[in-house]
Amino acid sequence: MTVIVDDAGSGDLLFGVVVGAYREETGEFKYDMIDVRFYQEIFPEKEYLQESSRIVSKLLAWFNLKPDEAIHICQGCIFDVAAEELSKVYGEDRVKRVRVAGEAQRLVEIAYLDEIRNLGYEPLAEREEKRGKSFFHMMRWLKDNPEMLRYAKTGWPRLKNYHLFRRFHPEPVHTAICSDCGSECEVPFQPRANRPVYCQKCWPAHKPRKKNQKN
Ligand SMILES: [Zn+2]
């Protein structure tokens, strides 16, 4: 017998990630979610990898694996820690990284769709083929329902390019000494030794003139 482990939603803007396990021979299926908070402020710490591993272990315990039962786990990097852990526990021979297709993939996908529908969002029918379109569809929905931003993977670094997510990616602040008045000030860039820095009060007097801009 074989238990297949797959995920859904890790590339989607909304909500957490579904991790599901499916036993081919019996049709048993069970899933849990990596909470969306792992994809928010703490996203750069990559704790979702440990969380994914923890969930996989829990699901497999529920399946009560037979002594020689194989585990096929999706190749996606979200399972890198999980696969390593499983190899330690069950032995390398029983754990195989695969491209998951068929019923297992279908079931985790349905589970993810159910979860995002529960938020009140209706996914695009062609979500899987048109990833980019789906991303903007979800983003537009968040724009219309800003209170739902707490259910979005706002920690993705590339989101800082979008106004809607900017507040989740504050610019780092540097302190500097104003080259004019000598008071301490905060600037949104790393001050360089050979370049003057001005505080907000002094800046207008040092602004480059715009007169000759056109040549
Ligand atoms: Zn100053």
Residue 2 has what DSSP assignment?
Answer: E
Distance 26 CA to ligand 1 centre (A): 73
Distance 1 CA to ligand 1 centre (A): 73
Model pTM? Answer: 0.81
Task: Report pLDDT for 65.
Answer: 94
Task: Report pLDDT for 194.
Answer: 85
164 contacts 145 by C-beta, under 8 angstroms? no
In one-letter notation, the amino acid at residue 91 is: G
Distance 179 CA to ligand 1 centre (A): 7
Backbone phi, psi, residue 21, to 5°:
-130, 140
* pLDDT, tens digit (0-9, with 9 covering 90-100), for 14-38: 999 999 999 999 999 999 999 999 9
Distance 214 CA to ligand 1 centre (A): 29
Question: E strands within 88-215?
Answer: 95-98, 174-177, 184-187
Task: Report pLDDT for 173.
Answer: 83
Ranges of the chain with pLDDT below 70: 210-215
H or E segment and range at residue 6 = strand 2-8
Distance 206 CA to ligand 1 centre (A): 10
36 contacts 48 by C-beta, under 8 angstroms? no
Please tell me the distance from the alpha carbon of residue 6 to that of residue 75, in angstroms, as a whole number.
9
Distance 178 CA to ligand 1 centre (A): 5
Q: Cα 92 to the chain's mean position, in Å?
A: 28
For the chain, percent helix, then strand, then coil, each to nearest 5?
45, 20, 40
CA separation (Å) from 212 to 83, 196, 203, 207, 208? 62, 22, 19, 13, 10
Question: E strands within 9-159?
Answer: 17-23, 28-34, 70-74, 95-98
Distance 202 CA to ligand 1 centre (A): 4
